[in-house]
Amino acid sequence: MRWAEAGELPALVAIEQAADGLFAEVGIVFPEGTTMVEEADDPARVLVAGEPPAGFAMIGWVDGHVHLDQLAVHPGHMRQGHGGALVRAVLDHAAALGAPGVTLTTFRDVPWNAPWYERFGFAVLPEAAWGPELRALVEHERELGLELAPRVVMRA
């Protein structure tokens, strides 16, 4: 695991697009628009797995927690431990910073989403426990049309 370099962020777009394409297998097709990594302007928010990159995790801060904005592994590199290594790196980074935890939003019933994150200690966070920034983030995702199947907020 390493932090991304500024010049390689554009190359990570293909990884995100390929990973997003897998959702079509479960009937989820994302609306047109930019990818999350295309909107990233700070490589210090992006952890990269592999050389050349096989996947990445993009993080931010929400209500005092490290927030996993995006995790993507290229389908050609799946089932090789990259995703798990990225999640563990994010959790370790949050602990090193003294953050109380890591939050994320994900699809509830997609096997490689909520059920997969549970293996790393994530649990569904009830809406009553959401802070104002997390509430605003979920609303923003809805406005973008990302609620294409049941979604949950999780925290580890």
What secondary structure, in 3-state letters, does 19-30 show? HHHHHHHHCCCC
Range of the domain at 44: 2-155
| Contact status, residue 68 vs residue 102, Cβ threshold 8 Å | yes
Q: Average pLDDT for residues 43-52, to the nearest whole number?
A: 92
Residue 13 is predicted with a pLDDT of: 93
Structure tokens at 137: 């983030």
pTM strictly above 0.85: yes
* Strand segments (E) across 15-141: 46-49, 55-62, 65-73, 102-107, 123-124
Q: Is the peptide bond before 10 cis (omega within 30 degrees of 0)?
A: no
In the prediction, which pLDDT does 30 show?
Answer: 85
- How many structural domains comprise the chain? 1
Asked whether the predicted pLDDT for residue 79 surpasses 90, the reply is: no
Residue 148 pLDDT class (50, 70, 90 cuts)? confident
Residue 51: the pLDDT is 87
Is it the case that residue 78 has pLDDT exceeding 90?
no
> In degrees rounded to 5, what are phi and psi of residue 137?
-65, -45
Q: What is the CATH number of the domain that holds 135?
A: 3.40.630.30
Beta strand 151-155 with 123-124: parallel, antiparallel or unpaired? antiparallel
Mean pLDDT of 84-106: 97
